[in-house]
Amino acid sequence: MKKAMMLTTALIATGFAASAQELNVVSWGGAYTVSQVEAYHKPFTEMTGIKVNSIDADNPATPLKAQVEAGNVSIDLADIELSDAIRLCDEGLLEEIDPAMLPAAPDGTPAADDFVPGAIQDCAVANIVWATVVAYDASKFPDNPPSTLADFFDTEKFPGKRGLLKAAKRSLEMALVADGVPGSEVYEVLGTEEGVARALAKLDTIKDSVVWWEAGAQPPQLLADGEVVMTTGYNGRIFNAMIAENKPFNIIWDGAYMDYDLWAIPKGAPHLEDAKKFLAFSTDTQRLADQAKYISYGPARKSSSALVGLYQDGKTEMAPHMPTNPDNLINPIWTDPTFWADHDVELSEKFNAWLAN
Amino acid sequence: MTDATGQLTTADGKPLKAALAASLATRRRRAFLLVAPLFLFILVSFIVPIGQMLYQSFYNDTFSATAPNLVQWFDEHPAGSEIDESAYAALAADLALMKQEKTAGAAGTRINYDVSGSRSMFTSTARKADKFEPPFKEAILAEEKKWDDPIIWRAMRSASSPFTFDFYLAALDLTRDDSGSIVPVAEGQAIYKTLFWRTLSMSIEITALCLLLGFPIAHLLAVLPMRKAMLLMILVLLPFWTSLLVRTTSWMVLLQSQGVLNDLMVWMGLIGDDGRIQMMYNQTGTIVAMTHILLPFTVLPLYSVMKTIPPSYVRAARSLGATSWTAFRRVYLPQTLPGIGAGGLLVFILAMGYYITPALVGGADGQMISNMIAFHMQKSLNWSLAAALAAMLLAIVLIFFWIYDRLVGIDKMKLG
């Protein structure tokens, strides 16, 4: 079985067989990959002469799993979500990472203390903190704009269609917070049968008004088309529409759903040493702060915050748009990857069944 | 011309039979060499990967390969045995092995497909595995008391053989209870049967719509003079050559609630601005877009069949006194059956496995089973369940193919 898989994958992968001074980095595409190319890839190539190939995937964890299981790895480094980082690490598909290899902060604070809690995992190191937030079209609510997650579920006071990610993860948690559960206690409630029923009941109240989205580029599009008046979305994409494209959108930070994106190295990466070098380089204080110049995702190092300056347009202050800004941390939901590793199957089935009926 | 021995020979004296056979064999070899690249291509790019995928639907060794001691214990103790100290000793040994090999997550994921919440039991208990000392039962239960749940042991027993039908059970909304007998899953969790039915009924609806719409078009194409027919043909083929994504997105622009059609109706005063009709992101949207995309697949086979029907047959029927309806029903329609069969079957099979269009315009209730297969391939990474669902989809299509062969006969199909 494995051999047969290896053979077919080898045939497919011969296309990308890489030479010595190269690094294959897989990420999510769009404005996010652009920010990484500008802040990490280009300076890295300049410094070391190693060419960095940027490859896009819908979810980089999928090709990574396929390649490692087939025993033919062409990926050197992948940008993956926290729950995937923990899951793939537990399954032995990722290289372990020694935090000692990460550079200290400029003031000498060791990396282990400089990163925000949970950002350094056994097999992965976070580069950004990102949030799933509610955004609304301000022109549709001139007098009395919505301000809380509960308002998102209130179609009487704020009539109009809603955009919501078609997935159990995030939808269920946000429904509970809107129903009055504090962000910090969401997973205790969601761990019970009643909690799941409560979340689905809350979602039921807006089910008829929901336009479901799947790709990160959709929410700003839905808002711009007027197809929805309020939607959940990734804060970086909404920021891009607000600032770069001058759309009249606003973000509600109440009940924002916080997650990390992490660098991970697959077992059997063809350029292991270079990949480690790149990982250490791209997660140093300056590089993480540089990335914030291109997209409003928060750097995973505390020491980077002070260096975050203006957006690439040269006039927009980035700090107020960062999910990690203390003013924006209103009742946040911090993702619980262990919970999701355990309950993903069950909750996704329940959510999909609820959706289909 | 026979010689004394009664054998025909060629000019150089070889027996004719052998010479003929040799020359035929050479030709056959040459013909095979011509087909070989295609055959090899299909084998490597189609048959082998599909075979591997189907194999995964009933073969999953993530647990059995990582827990050898438990596998042995389950072999020695038949179902229903008491979970005693020796079982916990095997569990402790396997957890230690999993810690060493970093496979606790994989093993836990496999069990978690059956018992939600069990994955972290493996990863967290395995982390402490090298500290366990006899009696193992107490040591393990002190670490995590959920280990004495019989359902965990039932799930591990069923996963201890790499060959399993658990994924087919899951694909049919079935599961096993504590005692191992097959029962339906909890009310709010059943989904696949509904989706199979929906996929089937939507595919039939789409096929019927395509035939209904395609028949007159094909007829027109077949009877119009050449020049006009060519123009019409281009109108049929143009969308056929356009990217699937472009066509789907165009329908979104047309039908969404802020779309062209709704704007037009509001402008004409047919509906109020707050009464816009939801035609997209639901079943209606999926059926409309898919019917449009699949229409050429009925028009083309129908056209090629209709082109060969001499108009004199219908004229003869009419002159013998048949009404136009009778002539159509008794003379024309039966002759188009091979085209209807081919077009219908083609559209039906394509519709059963359609993925992108329902994913984009399906919303909540326009999803089909292929979207679920994609979900398990890309998001939940449960490839065995995806394979089981795909195998069932394949089986359903083959059943329909067989019924078609029985009713109409596959040799009567005419694709063009």
DSSP assigned state of A73: -
Q: Average pLDDT in the A46-56 region?
A: 92
* Burial status of residue B351 (CB atoms within 10 A of its CB: 0-12, 13-18, 19 or more): buried
Q: Chains A, B: CB contacts under 8 A, how many?
A: 110
Instruction: Place A17 in a pLDDT band, splitting at 50, 70 and 90.
Output: very low
Residue B149 has pLDDT above 60, yes or no: yes
| Residue B382, CB-side half-sphere exposure with 13 Å CA sphere | 29
Q: Average pLDDT in the B377-406 region?
A: 89
pLDDT at residue A131, as a whole number: 94
Q: Average pLDDT in the B378-397 region?
A: 90
Chain A residues whose CB is inside 8 A of the B129 CB are none
Q: Average pLDDT in the B202-225 region?
A: 94
Residue A16 has pLDDT above 80, yes or no: no
* Burial status of residue B397 (CB atoms within 10 A of its CB: 0-12, 13-18, 19 or more): middle
| Domain locations along chain B | 11-58, 68-164, 192-412
pLDDT digits (tens, 9 = 90+) for B22-81: 889 999 999 889 999 999 999 999 899 889 889 999 999 889 999 999 999 999 988 888
Q: Average pLDDT in the A125-134 region?
A: 94
- Contact: A356, B44; criterion CB under 8 Å: no
CA distance A232 to A223: 10
pLDDT digits (tens, 9 = 90+) for A160-196: 999 999 889 999 999 999 999 999 999 999 999 999 9
Instruction: Place B414 in a pLDDT band, splitting at 50, 70 and 90.
Output: low
pLDDT at residue A42, as a whole number: 95
Q: Average pLDDT in the A242-247 region?
A: 89
- Contact: B105, A5; criterion CB under 8 Å: no
What does the mean pLDDT of chain A come to?
A: 88
Q: Is B266 on the interface with A (CB under 8 A)?
A: no
- Report, at the CATH architecture level, how domain A2-129+261-322 is classified: 3-Layer(aba) Sandwich (3.40)
Residue A286 has pLDDT above 70, yes or no: yes
Residue A14 has pLDDT above 60, yes or no: no
Q: How far is CA B238 from CA B233, B242, B298, B415, in A?
A: 8, 6, 15, 19
Instruction: Place A314 in a pLDDT band, splitting at 50, 70 and 90.
Output: confident
Instruction: Place A18 in a pLDDT band, splitting at 50, 70 and 90.
Output: very low
| Residues contacting A144, CB < 8 A, separation 6+ | A157
Residue B378 has its nearest CB partner, among A59, A226, A349, at: A59
| Fold (topology level) of B192-412 | MetI-like fold (1.10.3720)
How far is B18 from chain A, CA to nearest CA, in Å? 41
Instruction: Place A11 in a pLDDT band, splitting at 50, 70 and 90.
Output: very low
Is the pLDDT higher at B227 or at B407?
B227
pLDDT digits (tens, 9 = 90+) for B240-290: 888 888 999 899 889 888 889 989 999 998 888 777 888 888 888 999 999
Q: Is B383 on the interface with A (CB under 8 A)?
A: no
What does the mean pLDDT of chain B come to?
A: 88
Instruction: Place B214 in a pLDDT band, splitting at 50, 70 and 90.
Output: very high
Q: Is B118 on the interface with A (CB under 8 A)?
A: yes
Pick from B63, B64, B123 the residue to mutate for testing the A interface (most A CBs within 10 Å).
B123
Helix (H) or strand (E) run with residue B57 in it: helix B48-58
From the list A31, A63, A86, A26, the residue with the least C-alpha distance to A295 is A31
Q: How far is CA A222 from the centre of its chain?
A: 20
Do A277 and A48 contact (CB within 8 A), yes or no? Answer: yes
Q: How far is CA B358 from CA A164, A317, B250, B351, in A?
A: 17, 41, 14, 10
Instruction: Place A12 in a pLDDT band, splitting at 50, 70 and 90.
Output: very low
Taking the whole predicted model, whether its pTM rises above 0.90 is answered as no
* Burial status of residue A30 (CB atoms within 10 A of its CB: 0-12, 13-18, 19 or more): middle
Q: Average pLDDT in the A296-306 region?
A: 88
Read off the amino acid at residue B269.
G
**CATH 3.40.190.10 in chain A, residue ranges:** 2-129+261-322, 130-259+331-356
Q: Which two tokens stand for residue B220?
A: 């027109």
Q: How far is CA B22 from the centre of its chain?
A: 45
Q: Is A338 on the interface with B (CB under 8 A)?
A: yes
| Residues contacting A69, CB < 8 A, separation 6+ | A2, A5, A93
CA distance A147 to A161: 17
From the list B202, B351, B371, B368, the residue with the least C-alpha distance to B284 is B202
CA distance A28 to A56: 5
Instruction: Place B294 in a pLDDT band, splitting at 50, 70 and 90.
Output: very high
- Touching B: A residues 146-175, CB under 8 Å: 161, 166-167
Do A231 and A54 contact (CB within 8 A), yes or no? Answer: no
- Contact: B256, A225; criterion CB under 8 Å: yes
| Fold (topology level) of A130-259+331-356 | D-Maltodextrin-Binding Protein; domain 2 (3.40.190)
pLDDT at residue B1, as a whole number: 47
Do A95 and A124 contact (CB within 8 A), yes or no? Answer: no
